[in-house]
Amino acid sequence: MRTRLERLRADHAPVLLAFERENREYFARSVPDRGDAYFAAFADRHRALLAEQDTGACHFHLLVDGQGELLGRVNLVDVAAGAAELGYRIGERAAGRGAATAAVHEVCRLATAEYGLTALTAVTTLDNPASMAVLQRTGFTVVGELVLDDRPGLRYRRDLDAPQ
């Protein structure tokens, strides 16, 4: 599957909202639902994310296929001291087809080449084996346990200058 990451822009709002609505039930199976307020205030939230991105505190991306269809989101948040936390959501239609793995590889490349980062962290719950597999395939290692939304999980880290 040929994909690319696009940095979040203002004109992404309509397609991103449609993607989130289309995948709401699918995402809620593995992560807490965003709630109705998220959708009602989507335009304001989108503007706030862009403003936050402009400060350099976060880097938000959309994963699109060769035809420009939105497949997912890949974000680097809480940028500080050369590190950031990775988060991603891949829509149901692209799940299980290597999109998440390709997106994480690409955002790791961007993290070093474009954003000057040296390490990424990520968290996932134990009941999300697909996410755990993506992190392991892309060079992340388990560095601790945690509880996320009342569910046991793992914390991962990848040093970006380490050989893959």
**pTM (predicted TM-score):** 0.91
Buried b (16+ CB within 10 A) or exposed e, 17-33: bebbeebeeebeeebee
Q: 100: domain CATH number?
A: 3.40.630.30
Per the structure, how many domains does the chain have? 1
- The reply to whether 147 falls in a domain is yes
- The reply to whether 29 falls in a domain is yes
User: What Rg value do the Cα atoms of the chain yield, rounded?
Assistant: 15
41 is in which domain, residue-wise? 3-159
Task: Give 39's contacts (C-beta < 8 A, 6+ positions apart).
Answer: 17, 20, 21
- The reply to whether 133 falls in a domain is yes
Could you read off the pLDDT tens digit of each residue along the chain, which spans 164 residues? 689 999 999 999 999 999 999 999 998 887 777 889 999 999 999 999 999 999 999 999 999 998 989 999 999 999 999 999 999 999 999 998 999 999 999 999 999 999 999 999 999 999 899 999 999 999 999 999 999 888 899 999 999 986 55
41 alpha carbon, distance to own chain's centre: 21
Give the Cα separation of 90 and 124 in Å (integer).
Answer: 14
- The reply to whether 8 falls in a domain is yes
